Amino acid sequence: MLVFSWSLVALLLVSSSLAEEDVATMEEDMSRELSVGELLERANRDRNPDLDEPILIEGDIAIKSEADRNADPCTSRNCLWRKWTNGKVYIPYYIANHYSSREISIITRGLESFSSMSCIHFRPYQNGDNEWLSIESRDGCYSYVGRQGGAQTVSLSRQGCLYHSTVQHELLHALGFNHEQTRSDRDSYISVQWENIIDGMAYNFNKIATLNQGTPYDYNSVMQYERYAFSKNGRATMVPIPNSNVSFGQATQMSKNDIDRLNRLYQC
């Protein structure tokens, strides 16, 4: 709290001379403690998407058509990125030119974090690439699940999506992963409080055949939403069991299980 107060004082004192980027830096500092789920919820709360933007499910998962709403878009088809004979998975990316250098460095740090922990190597788009991630600031934070073919948008809005946790979260979607709370075994770990979910949003808690790779349910996964996700009344929509007081959904970066799961899926 003390830190926050000093940040606020500093912001007030120098606000008149601050460039836009400095303000963004301070906003990030103040949000450092927010979990990935809270950041995504905040960024995607009042979306007003352009007509060419995809339908989103589960808050931040893009789908190509209504028909994909109930299918698991990754396990029902080949969604993995190709592995090269040297054992590495090279995934081309293109970063739109509307980001500041500070924003690009957050995105790049997220992209590069994968190569130190797995065989996944994101690399800049080159002429002749057939499939790549197009990282753009659209309306909100979102990604498709798994490889789509051609250019696939990963939206990291300049308004609220440029954090290490949100970058890693959206990249894990693009690599084929879904949300922790939709795992088929989640009822053993999370009790969904259906009566507290916003009307029409219950489908966000449908269980699906996620790519668990033998790893345990992980409350600290960067893919786990927090206790009040999609709440219509401020009450919890998810309660951990058997101990309802256990902290969950507070990740600010990939967990050990997230990394293990990735390495097993791609056989790194």
Give the binding site for Zn ion (CB under 5 A).
Answer: 60
Nearer to Zn ion, 195 or 257 (CB): 257
Residue with Cβ nearer Zn ion (18 or 55): 55
Residue 180: closest CA among 248, 79, 267, 253: 248
Residue 142 beta carbon to Zn ion: minimum distance, rounded to whole angstroms:
8
Q: How far apart are CA 64 and CA 148, in angstroms?
A: 10
Residue 231 phi/psi, 5° resolution? Answer: -80, 140
| Beta carbons within 8 Å of 244's beta carbon, 6+ residues apart | none
Confirm whether 226 is a catalytic residue.
Answer: no
Burial class (CB in 10 A: 0-12, 13-18, 19+), 52: exposed
Task: Give the nearer residue to Zn ion in terms of CB position, either 97 or 262.
Answer: 262
- 98 annotated ligand binder: no
Residue 96 Cβ vs Zn ion, minimum distance, rounded to whole Å: 20
In sequence order, what are the beta bridge partners of 91?
A: 122
CA 102 – CA 82 distance, rounded (Å): 31
DSSP at 47: -
User: CB of 225: closest distance to Zn ion in angstroms?
Assistant: 8
Q: Closest-CB residue for Zn ion?
A: 60
Q: Which helix (H) or strand (E) holds 28?
A: helix 20-30
* Shortest distance, position 249 Cβ to Zn ion, whole Å: 12
Among the listed residues 38, 103, 170, 226, the single catalytic one is 170
Answer for the pair 157, 141: CB distance below 8 angstroms, yes or no.
Answer: yes
Q: Which is nearer to Zn ion, 60 or 218 (CB)?
A: 60
121 annotated to a ligand binding site: no
What is the distance between the alpha carbons of residues 34 and 184, in angstroms, rounded to a whole number? 27
Known binder of ligand: residue 179? yes
62 strand-pairing partners: 56, 144
- Report, in Å, the least distance between residue 9 CB and Zn ion: 35
Nearest to 268 by CA among 92, 90, 64: 90
Q: Which residue in 163, 151, 146, 147 sits closest to 109, CA to CA? A: 163
Comparing CB distances to Zn ion, the nearer of 129 and 139 is 139
Are 65 and 57 in contact by the 8 Å Cβ rule? The answer is: no
Q: Binding site membership: which residues?
A: 169, 173, 179
Positions marked active-site? 170
Q: Binding site membership for Zn(2+): which residues?
A: 169, 173, 179
